[in-house]
Amino acid sequence: MYRALIRPLLYLLPPEAAHQFAFGCLRLLAAIPGALSLVRRAFHSGDEASHVRALGLDFPNPIGLAAGFDKDAIGYEALGAMGFGFVEVGTLTGQPQPGNPTPRLFRLPKDRALVNRMGFNNRGSADAIARLQRPHRTIVGVNIGKTKVVPEEQAIGDYVASAKRLGPLADYVVVNVSSPNTPGLRSLQATEKLRPLLGAVREALNEVSPARRVPLLVKIAPDLADEDVDAIAELALDIGLNGIIATNTTIRRDGLASDAAEVERCGAGGLSGPPVHDRSLEVLKRLRTKVGDQLVLISVGGIETAEQAWERIQAGATLVQVYTAFIYEGPLLPSRLAKGVAAQQTMGIAP
């Protein structure tokens, strides 16, 4: 039904407008008393084979929604009810910001891909506090980034402000230094800049949540050179990070099926979906070689099927995330992936 009827109707709208409409429908659903309980019973299998223990948490399944869909922590409970094992909200910044000028989100249907240059549009980390304080069943990760107007030399303070506000409310926190849409952000992936940043965020989380060590992860780009991936893996081990999310969107445009003119019309921004699949898998395998079982690896990038999700788990991922496939495949995707991965586990195919 989604592919045949709903998706064609949504595609009559510009991509960002379609996203806002779909998100509005989720919010309406959540406002109906008892609706989310019914949705959760319909979409969650309850299969023990799906459960994953990681980051000190019990995930109902390993399929998560990547940051970027629920930027302001508004609909995470509805999304969790739809079958996701966890939802990562954000990216939230220290100050509210409108993001980049529109249009800033584009579809490449021939590649089942998206190009976005949203620019961390969000209401700011302080605004999300009240919504994250609400009782909820969904495991929620909080992704934090740098406010665009904050200069690089003040970036640590900006991240720390968000960490202090949201750390006690998050099941885990992610430091995002890998979006291509905030000028200078990716330079923070250099280990000499990343070490003090992660150290300061870790200290802030310990300060505001002394009774619970909030898991801290970093999200990296697929465009890093192999030696830089290795350096971040070594840094993560050295400072006691809990995990790495690999990977964000790519700035590369090679190997696309879409017409060159269509790609050109999209302009600058991060490309997501199947075109980033191969590099994301390569980065995952490289990280696994470097960190073994010492860190939780969350793999994201081009995952569309249960077979691909299981491939990531076999390659060393504890958890996986989707985003672009959710846009193309619709609300049945998370439960379909979760059931498919559980079937592989039941068959006794060891990761």
Can you tell me whether residue 158 is helix, strand or coil? helix
Amino acid (one-letter) located at 244: I
Q: Which two tokens stand for residue 349?
A: 């195919």
Distances (CA, A) of 254 to 108, 223, 234, 272: 13, 13, 30, 13
Q: Which residues contact 244 (CB under 8 A, 6 or more apart)?
A: 217, 218, 219, 220, 232, 233, 236, 287, 291, 295, 296, 297, 298
Identify the DSSP state of 177: -
DSSP 239-287: HT--EEEE---B---TT-SS-HHHHHHH-SSEEESGGGHHHHHHHHHHH
* Locus of tokens 């249960």: 306
**So which residues are the catalytic ones?**
179
Can you tell me whether residue 62 is helix, strand or coil? coil
* Locus of tokens 């999304």: 79
Amino acid (one-letter) located at 83: G
Q: Is 184 left (phi over 0), alpha (psi -120 to 50) or beta?
A: left
Identify the DSSP state of 187: G
- Provide the Cα torsion 312, 318, 323, 326; round to 10°: 80
Q: Which residues contact 174 (CB under 8 A, 6 or more apart)?
A: 67, 88, 90, 141, 142, 143, 144, 216, 217, 218, 219, 245
Q: Which residues contact 227 (CB under 8 A, 6 or more apart)?
A: none
